[in-house]
Each structure stands twice: as C-alpha cells, then as structure tokens.
Amino acid sequence: MSIWIAKLLGPIILTLGVTMAFTPRNLQEMTKQFLADRPLILISGVLAMIAGLSIVNTHNLWNWDWRLIITLFGWALVIGGIFRVAAPGLVLKVGESMMDQPIMTRLVGICWSLLGAFLTFKGYA
C-alpha cells in the first residue's frame, strides 16, 4: 500500500512544489482568488478530509522509516480539511499572511519538490 500511495502522492507533490518554487507569483494570485471564495474553501476542506481519511484508514503506519511520511501527510490532510470546514476565517488569515512572502513560497516549494521527488522515487524505483 505504501508504494501505491507514494506513486499517487509523489508526482502531485512534486508538481505543486515545482510550481511554488518557480512561479510563486502565479500561485499567489490563484491563492487570492481561492481565499475570496468561501464555498471553495469548504469544498476543498471536505476533499482534503476525504483524501486524508482515505490515507489514514489504509496506511496508519507509525514505523520510523520513509512510510511515516505518508501517514503524516494523511493526518495533515485530515487536520487541514477540518480547519477549512470548521474555521474558514482562520484559513483566510493564514493564507493572506503567506501571500506577502514570495521568498517563503519558493523555499516551501523547494521542500515540497524534494519531498515529491523522494516519494516518486520510492514509488517508482
């Protein structure tokens, strides 16, 4: 199951990371539009919870190896989804504060790219 989830998550995280690292302004503009649409925040929260619970219910492994990344990512999706559904105002404030920092967006993008590349390697190697 770990390899299958790594094959699924790795390329998605890698693509998002590269986008964040190389086109932070475009991503920030999309984020502004996203944050202006509260129903979209709600829907994305529900989808994040579905994805996270799918991972947690099939892959809740707390072993100290690379598979822990998948478990933590699943829990992060669940928690992030809960915040989007239950506290959209908080999501709005956090999102707005992050948009004023394109350097931070690049740095986070590099980290996400590395994580996505690692999971892609684990899934497909």
In tens, the pLDDT along 41-67 reads 999 999 999 999 999 999 999 999 999
Q: Tell which wins on pLDDT, 114 or 100.
A: 114
Q: In this model, does residue 111 exceed pLDDT 80? A: yes
Task: Tell me which H or E stretch contains 88.
Answer: helix 88-99
Q: Which residues of 52-82 are buried (b: 16+ CB within 10 A; e: fewer)?
A: beebbeebeeeeeeebebbbebbeebbebbe
What pLDDT score was predicted for residue 43? 96
The pTM (predicted TM-score) of the whole model is 0.89
Q: In this model, does residue 100 exceed pLDDT 80? A: no
Q: In this model, does residue 99 exceed pLDDT 90? A: no
Residue 114, classified by CB atoms within 10 Å of its CB into exposed (0-12), middle (13-18) or buried (19+), is: middle
